[in-house]
Chain A
Amino acid sequence: MMSRLTRSLSRNNSWELWLTIGLLLLLPMLLATDYALTIWTRMAIYVILLTGLNFINGMAGMISLAQAGFFGLGAYAAGIAAVRFDVPPVLALVIAPLVVTAAALLVGMMSMRLKEIYFKMATLGAGFVLFLLFGRMVELTGGPNGLVGIPPFSVFGFAFTEPIVKYAFVALLAIIGAIVAHNLLVSRTGRALRAYGASEPAALAAGASPFKLRLLAFGMSGFYAGVAGALEAFDARFISPSTFDFMMAVLLVVALVLSGAGRMIGPILGALLLTGIEVFAADYADYEPLIMGVIFLIAVQLFPRGLAGELAARREDRRERAKREAAAQTEREVVRA
């Protein structure tokens, strides 16, 4: 078990990281109209958000439905700091992840010992409370009408308003985020986290404290959600609660699960999937929910372990079969001899 794990880690993950970076650099070259760039920017924000979710969903093997709420908290923290307190955007981009990390650690501590399904529902509750508060704390958040007047991101008076500049900035952070995530994963802690995700006794045997690991995963996911949220606020320059609702939380989890939770390639595939869905859905106004639901169900039925997971499992099966066949072959040869 452990050996298979380390083997797959050393072999697979770095090309997946390179592919992520490659796609982030390559996609805008494919198409760089203003509209395409807004789409790619959104996709890059999703990459950061999903890389964060991957710590819990993928590594620790727990499903969190709080990520949309954390995403919103990051957006509101940055937006409120910039609009209500005139904090410079650079500083707001630092504040937001710190606020969300703190919130995530709090929720993490509250739900730390819960079993899978109860953990999922606790995160659902946390996400929902955040979503409702965005709409209710009118003085601070602007309420259901949303927060208007968020400035564009700027450094030393240079405002990031050109679509290509915006994309470059978000993509840069997404790449840094992916590299950090990758390095953490191949570190000792990361291996322990994965082992914990795969099986608890393994983690205990390795001498790791599962609760500390889980908390670490949750804190990391919060940090990434905070960065993604702040970027969303400065990109759209307008935020409202509707973006961070329950459906968003579900979509994030589904996108990650379908594309391969726990793998480095998951976030970029998931982000492509999410933006693809958003763009595709716009053409089917009346039937959209129905079509989305059916596609979603078929996908879950086809790939209960995720796309990447499914392919990996198939390869594993093939290898087993080959091994069995080889063994049978030797047996036959032995018999013949």
Chain B
Amino acid sequence: MRKKILALLAGSALLASSACGLGSSGAGDGDDSITIGTLFTVSGAGAKLGDKMRKGAELAVEKVNSEGGINGKQIKWVFYDPAGDTSTAVQQTNRMLDSDGVELVVGGGGSSGIALAMDPITSGKGIAFIATEGARQIVEPAGEHRLTFKTTFNDTTMVEKLIEYWKANDVTKVAFMPDTSSFGQSAQEELERLAPEAGIEVFTAAFDPAANDLTPQVKRLASNDPQAYLAWTTQPSGVTFLNNVRSVLANKDVMVMHGFGFVDDRYMQQAGKAAEGTILVSPKLPVWDKIDDSDQQKATMEEFATSYAEKYGGEQPNVYAGQAYDAMMVAAEALRATGGDTDGEKVAQAIEGLGSHVGVTGVFKYTSDDHSGLTSDDVAVIKWDGSRFVPAE
């Protein structure tokens, strides 16, 4: 009996250790490849977005490799799914760096919390990290995040664009409905900080991303007579928001708005008539074919949109796929500049020295003070016209 348990224990210990991949040596030592590691959440609540991000990154890796790689070296891509959990992500990051021989990390799990948890680990090991998540704390202050960059908009940038748009349209009172996830909460902080300075009154009512009815919040906010209703979420309840606002405010002409997390054809189609005329802040990607030919991003966006749709059976890329694609491309370009050297410091200097990188979600201009790279010039205000996104006038 005792022997049996002992044997069993030894067995499970062996299993655990072999499963750890502890025996495998670092994969990045060879001269013929560069190992890039990525975490995106492709199961659980954030799965839909994480899947888009994975596809975007995958497309970029294939593109770089098919065009001859980085100075002749192919990218070897390591991918893990932390399922939305930070402690799992920490463990997987350690695994990538210590066991899989990952030399550069692109993509921070698809949620700001995960990217924030990964940053100290990558930095501690002298590895450059290009995040695809929103919270500005991931890269700010840049002096304390020497090796960490991101390819997403700061909420500050988005909010500034919103305020600019509201001012142009004489909106002074705004009803704001962020969800209670990190995505909604970060935007809430920024909006409540910046809007009052601009003379815009904000009335906030948060909601659970899994909520099935938001009419009480909408009705309550309506008593303040706001001219615009803005939701901030990536979850399906954003469709409920559209339906509920239209239904509660039936005969009122108000501006109904969403943040960039909801720029998704499927969501808009599913909200049906309630989505018509919805205004969103977004990168230019969804309206790439409607913007002026002189725009320097146009060719890049067109190539991305067509090759994405081709690879994934006609599926339209969204902003998230674009961000992940951009992150991988920034990494590749920086590595070309270092001559394939993956030393964190050198990669960071190369990224800061890129000048301007024309991506699909914006033109990135990294400096030693700004590791976000995007400005409100890269943000477009777009509108769902009932069948597709168009630029809002």
Name A's B-contacting residues (CB within 8 A). 15, 19, 23, 27, 30-31, 33-36, 38-39, 42, 135-136, 138, 143-146, 148, 232, 236-240, 242-243, 245, 265, 269, 272-273, 275-276, 278-280, 282, 285-286, 288-289, 307-308, 311, 315
Q: CB-CB < 8 A to A307: which residues of B?
A: 8
Check B22 against A272 for contact (C-beta < 8 Å): no
The answer for the CA separation of A31 and B97 in the assembled complex, in Å, is 17
* A residues near B120, Cβ cutoff 8 Å: 237-238
Distance in angstroms from B111 CB to nearest chain A CB is 8
Given the contacts A136-B180, A282-B80, A240 and B86 also touching, CB distance less than 8 Å: yes
Whether, in the assembled complex, B81 has its beta carbon less than 8 Å from a beta carbon of chain A, the answer is yes
Instruction: List residues of chain B with CB within 8 A of the CB of A33.
Output: 22, 98-99
Cβ of B2 within 8 Å of any chain A Cβ, yes or no, is: yes
**Does B354 count as interface, using CB distance less than 8 angstroms?**
no
Checking B80, B94, B113 against A146 with a beta-carbon cut-off of 8 angstroms, the contacting residue is B113
Which residue from chain A places its CB closest to the CB of B120 in the assembled complex? A237
Cα-based distance from A285 to B2 in the complex (angstroms): 37
| Any A CB within 8 A of the CB of B117 | yes
Chosen A-B contacts, 12 in total, with CB atoms closer than 8 Å, are A31-B17, A35-B94, A35-B95, A145-B137, A238-B90, A239-B87, A240-B114, A272-B9, A273-B12, A278-B88, A279-B21, A307-B8
Smallest distance from the beta carbon of A49 to chain B beta carbons, Å?
A: 12
CB nearest neighbor in A for B45: A242
Collect the chain B residues with CB atoms within 8 Å of residue A278's CB.
88, 91
A213 to chain B, nearest CB (A): 28
**A-B pairs with lowest CB-CB distance, top 10:** A35-B98, A285-B81, A144-B182, A276-B16, A243-B87, A240-B113, A238-B117, A145-B182, A146-B113, A240-B86
Q: B116 to A146, Cβ gap below 8 A?
A: yes
CB of B168 within 8 A of chain A?
no
B250 within 8 A of A: no
Q: How near does chain A come to B124, taking the closest CB pair, in angstroms?
A: 9
Closest to A35 in B: B98
Q: Which single member of A42, A144, A145, A279 contacts B19 (CB below 8 Å)?
A: A279
Given contacts A143-B182, A239-B86, contact A285 B80 (CB under 8 A): yes
Whether B4 and A311, one on each chain, are in contact in the complex, defined by CB atoms closer than 8 angstroms, is yes
Q: Which of B1-31 contact A (CB under 8 A)?
A: 1-2, 4-6, 8-9, 12-13, 15-17, 19-22
Contact B135 A30 (CB under 8 A): no
What 7 new A-B contacts, CB under 8 Å, besides A35-B22, A42-B91? A15-B2, A35-B94, A144-B113, A232-B87, A238-B117, A272-B9, A272-B13
Interface size on B, residues (CB 8 A): 48
* Most central of B8, B20, B97 by chain A CB within 10 Å: B20
What residues of chain A lie closer than 8 Å to B1, measured between beta carbons?
Answer: 311, 315
Q: Quick check: is B42 within 8 A (CB to CB) of the other chain?
A: yes
B166 touches A (CB below 8 Å)? no
- In-complex Cβ contact of A145 among B87, B88, B90, B112 (8 A): B112
Nearest opposing residue in chain B for A259, CB measure: B12
Instruction: Select from chain B the residue with minimum beta-carbon distance to A31.
Output: B22
Chain B contacts of A285 at CB under 8 A? 42-43, 79-81
Q: Does B181 contact A (CB under 8 A)?
A: yes
Which residues of chain A have C-beta atoms less than 8 A from B2's C-beta? 15
* B282 close to chain A: CB less than 8 A: no
Residue of A nearest to B12 (CB): A272
CB distance from A277 to the nearest CB of B (A): 9
Q: Which A residues touch B42, using CB under 8 A?
A: 285-286
A138-B185, A240-B113 as given contacts; A279 in contact with B5, CB under 8 Å:
no
What is the CB-to-nearest-CB distance from A183 to chain B, in angstroms, rounded to a whole number? Answer: 22
Residues of chain B from 89 to 119 with CB closer than 8 A to chain A in the complex: 90-92, 94-95, 97-99, 112-114, 116-117
**Are B12 and A242 neighbours in the complex by a CB distance under 8 Å?**
no
- What's the Cα separation between A289 and B80 when bound, in Å? 14
- Known contacts A15-B2, A269-B12; is A243 also within 8 Å of B86 by CB? yes
B357 to chain A, nearest CB (A): 27
Residues of B within 8 A of A144 (CB): 113, 180-182, 185
Contact call B94/A265, Cβ cutoff below 8 A: no
Complex Cα–Cα for A243 and B109 (A) = 14
The distance in angstroms between the C-alpha atoms of A273 and B91, with both chains bound, is 16
Separation in Å of the A164 CB from the closest CB of chain B?
A: 14
Of the candidates A36, A279, A280, the one having the most CB atoms from chain B within 10 angstroms of its own CB is: A279
Nearest-neighbour CB distance to chain B for A182, whole angstroms, equals 17
Bound complex: CA of A38 vs CA of B81, how far in Å?
19
> Which residue of B has the minimal Cβ distance to A36?
B22
Residues A282 and B81 in contact, CB atoms below 8 Å apart: yes
Tell me which of B5, B43, B99 contacts A308 (CB under 8 A).
Answer: B5
B94 A38 Cβ-Cβ under 8 A: yes
Which residues of A are found within 8 Å of B154, using beta-carbon distances?
Answer: none
A273-B9 Cα distance, complex, nearest whole Å: 10
**Contact among B16, B112, B117 with A272 in the assembled complex (CB-CB below 8 Å):** B16
Q: A307 vs B99: C-alpha distance in the bound complex, in angstroms?
A: 31
Chain B residues within 8 Å of A135, by CB: 180
Q: Are B86 and A279 in contact (CB under 8 A)?
A: no
- For B114, the chain A residues whose CB sits under 8 A away are 240
- A14 vs chain B, min Cβ distance (A): 12
CB proximity of B156 to chain A, nearest CB, Å: 15
The CA-CA distance from A291 to B187 in the complex, in Å, is 37
Q: Once the chains bind, are B137 and A279 in contact (CB under 8 Å)?
A: no
Say whether B9 contacts A19, CB under 8 Å: yes
Contacts of A138 in B (CB 8 A): 185
CA distance A41 to B181 in the complex (A): 30
B85 within 8 A of A: yes
Contact assessment for B20 and A279 in the assembled complex, using a CB-CB cutoff below 8 Å:
yes
The answer to whether A36 and B8 have CB atoms under 8 Å apart is: no
